[in-house]
Amino acid sequence: MTELPEHLLKRAAEARARLTGEGGGGSDTSGGNTPAATPAVAAPVAAAPPAIPEEPKAPEPVAPYVEAGLNRKTIPAWIIPVLLFLPIWAIYYVGYLENPPAEAGGLLVEGGEIYSGQCSSCHGGTGGGGTGRQLNDGQVLLTFPSAEAGMAYDGIAGQIAWVANGTAGTSTATYGDPARAGGARTPGSFGQMSGFGGGLSAEELVAVVYYERITHGGLDDAAAEAELHLLEELLRVMEEEGTDLDSGLQAEDVQHLIDIARASGEDAEQAAG
């Protein structure tokens, strides 16, 4: 058998290596076999650098009005019913201002102050009389009885007219109850009564009359309360009609106003009842 030349064997091995994808190497001259190629070792991949944390952004400035709203305290719970009640209270308060009710204590205090300054020098501090007639021990109610106490003569109108006009301003021959025990009073029969219609307001004059009837006359509680409401209504009627007590009103004129006030008060009670 003829031996192939070595260079031919080497070429054949390289061609076979190209066909099979194997790297060819030089043929072993002694054995004739080509050794297997050693696979390449991959280079180690470099580790990625650690991530650098981003610095947090500074918060945007808050507007002053927003900060004030956030810091404002909340409304306390107890204020809610108060706010709900305010409209009702406002309606009541406005109505009260339009026609405030007279208070017995207020009229008595006001009337007592006026009596002390204007009347006590003639009628005495306790109403015992002096240069003016006696008022206490019920004497004032003998002359000016109370219709609210069931008397036939409505003396409150006569007393208001007498205090307003006095002796000089009274145009009638008598004043007070014509059926008074011991006879009706006549102007000028006991000194000269001053008229206070020009010096006192209607409320002040009504207050001093009410004081005399309660303190010196001794009106019982029921009659005192009834007269209080009547006088309150009288002042309202006089204000509506623009009437004052310094215009020379006589007892019959005051009585007309009293009748209007009494009827108005009764209508109001019926409507409320």
pTM of the model: 0.61
Query: Cα separations (Å) of 140 from 31, 143, 156, 245?
Result: 166, 5, 10, 20
Residue 142 lies in a domain: yes
pLDDT in tens, 200-259: 999 999 999 999 999 999 999 999 999 999 999 999 999 998 888 876 788 899 999 999
Supply the pLDDT for residue 24.
47
Let me know: does 149 contact 223? Beta carbons within 8 Å: yes
pLDDT at position 113: 94
Q: Is 65 domain-assigned?
A: no
DSSP string covering 87-101: HHHHHHHHHHHHSPP
Specify if 204 maps to a domain.
yes
Cα separation, 160 vs 175, in Å, equals 11
pLDDT of residue 31: 46
Tell whether 77 is covered by a domain: no
Residue 124: its pLDDT value, please? 95
Give the pLDDT score at 246: 77
Number of domains in the chain: 1
Phi, psi of 39 (to 5 degrees): -65, 145
Residue 170 lies in a domain: yes
Q: What is the pLDDT of residue 85?
A: 80
pLDDT, position 53 = 72
Q: Which residues of the chain have pLDDT under 50?
A: 24-32
Handedness of CA 149, 151, 157, 160 (dihedral sign): negative
Residue 137 maps to a domain: yes
8 A C-beta contact, residue 124 and residue 130: yes
The whole domain housing 109 covers: 104-272
For 164, the token pair is: 């307003």
Cα–Cα distance for residue pair 175/138, rounded to 1 Å: 17
